[in-house]
Each structure stands twice: as C-alpha cells, then as structure tokens.
Amino acid sequence: MKIIMLGAPGAGKGTQAKMIADKYKIPHISTGDIFRANMKNGTELGLKAKEYMDKGLLVPDELTVEILLDRVAQDDCKDGYVLDGFPRTIPQADVLDKELTKLGDKVDFAINVDVPDENIVRRMSGRRACLKCGATYHIEHIPPKKEGICDNCGSELVQREDDKPETVQNRLSVYHEQTQPLIDYYTNKQILKTVDGTKDMQEVFNDIVSILG
C-alpha cells in the first residue's frame, strides 16, 4: 500500500502519517529525514543534495525523486510506505509517477487532510514553546497552569517565529499556489481521498483507516 499524504502546513498530516505507518507496519518516509540520512552517511546522492543546499538552492526535482526511489527500493518498503512532504508540486508528482511506472509500480492513495486556513492560523498561532526545556503548549488546547510560564521549569514561554499568524499565512499562500494543484492532479488519477482534518485526531485517523481498509 503506497500512500501520499497531502494537506496544508499544520493540518496534522505528519501525525496521521506516523499513525498509519504504525498501524500498517510500513515506513513513514519524510523527504527531510531522507536528505538528512543521506548527507549524514555521505552517500553519493546525499553529497549531490548537499551541494545545492549549501548554496541555499532547492534540490532539483529529479535528484529528490532519485533519493526517494533509492529509499523506497529498500526491503522495509516492500509492503508499502507513507510519503510525507513529497511531492509538493505538479512537476515533482510527474517525475515520481514516471519513475514508479518504469518500475511497474504506482501510488495507491493520496490522502488529503483538509483543514480551512482560519483553523490552521488559530491552531498554529496558539502554540507556545519553552526554549529552556523544550516543552510545548497551546493556549487553547494544552494551556500552561500559569499563563506564559512553563509548568516544567518555570521559564517564560515564547511564540516561535514560524507560528506567528503572518508567517503561517505566508506558508499557506505558498501551499495554495504550489501544492493545492496536486489535489486536482490526484483527483484526475482517481486516487484522491479527502478527510475532514478539523475533527479530533483519532476520528481523522478512523476515517483514513476506513478508506484504506
């Protein structure tokens, strides 16, 4: 079972990908993790990717797909995998599709975790972090006992730059421009399934399991 997770930043697709991987005993593959592993191990592909990243450039789609195919060719992927964070654009999806077809393979499901923008802005801008001990909170869902103070170590809680409403809004704009078209792409391939990501985490997971069977 080969699954691609789609959804805006903060929609919770990463959490769902991990839960799917645990339930179906298949690897959860994040492109960021594969890049880091290849660079750490000094592989040929990792060194190529590092050249681009060191210059502040995006790793080209062909190289990203090459690194990804190298990962999914490993033994632990023989029963399937969950891709998280890739593809992000139509050209990436096209390259992935062509390369998988050459291998006589294909993606079985593209799961779209759908959450309206305003929910995501509220969800992410409510996050607070303790820079001293790493504890995280949410002003609505997991508030600290004392406002603005970490329960664990008493340090001041901060809102990370990434979680500020304007930053979240910018990331959502990029998502809608680049990644949203993948919804149509996979709809046309008749493998897209959308779940309501505003529900409780476990309910979202149950909905995904009923799709995957």
Please tell me the predicted confidence (pLDDT) of residue 117: 95
- Residue 9, pLDDT score: 87
94, HSE (Cβ side, Cα atoms, 13 Å): 5
Q: What does the pLDDT read at residue 195?
A: 98
> Could you tell me if residue 153 is inside a domain?
no
Q: Can you give the CATH number for the domain in which 99 is found?
A: 3.40.50.300
Confirm whether 165 is domain-assigned.
Answer: no
Number of folded domains in the chain? 1
Question: What is the helix (H) or strand (E) element at residue 45, kind and residue range?
Answer: helix 44-54
Residue 129 lies in a domain: no
Check whether 19 has a pLDDT greater than 90. yes
Which of 13, 71, 123, 128 does the annotation list as catalytic? 13
pTM of the model: 0.83
Answer yes or no: is 185 within a domain.
yes
Write down the pLDDT at residue 28. Answer: 95
| pLDDT, tens only, 144-180 | 999 999 999 999 999 998 899 999 999 899 889 988 8
Domain-embedded: residue 11: yes
* Residue 160 bears catalytic tag: yes
Q: What's the average model confidence in pLDDT over 183-208? A: 96
Q: What are phi and psi of 151, to 5 degrees?
A: -60, -35
Q: Which of 71, 88, 123, 128 is catalytic?
A: 88
Which amino acid appears at position 48 of this protein? K
Q: Average pLDDT in the 117-130 region?
A: 93
Q: Do residues 106 and 3 touch, judged by C-beta distance below 8 A?
A: no
166 in a structural domain: no
Q: How large is the average pLDDT for residues 108-134?
A: 94
pLDDT digits (tens, 9 = 90+) for 57-108: 878 888 998 999 999 989 999 999 999 989 988 989 998 999 899 988 999 9
Instruction: State which residues form the domain around 59.
Output: 2-115+179-212
Give domain status of residue 107, yes or no: yes
Tell me whether residue 127 is one of the annotated catalytic residues.
yes
168 occurs within a structural domain: no
Per-residue pLDDT tens over the stretch 29-63: 988 888 888 989 999 999 998 888 888 887 888 89
Active site residue 36: no
128 is known as an active-site residue: no
Pairing relation of β-strands 192-196 and 81-84?
A: unpaired
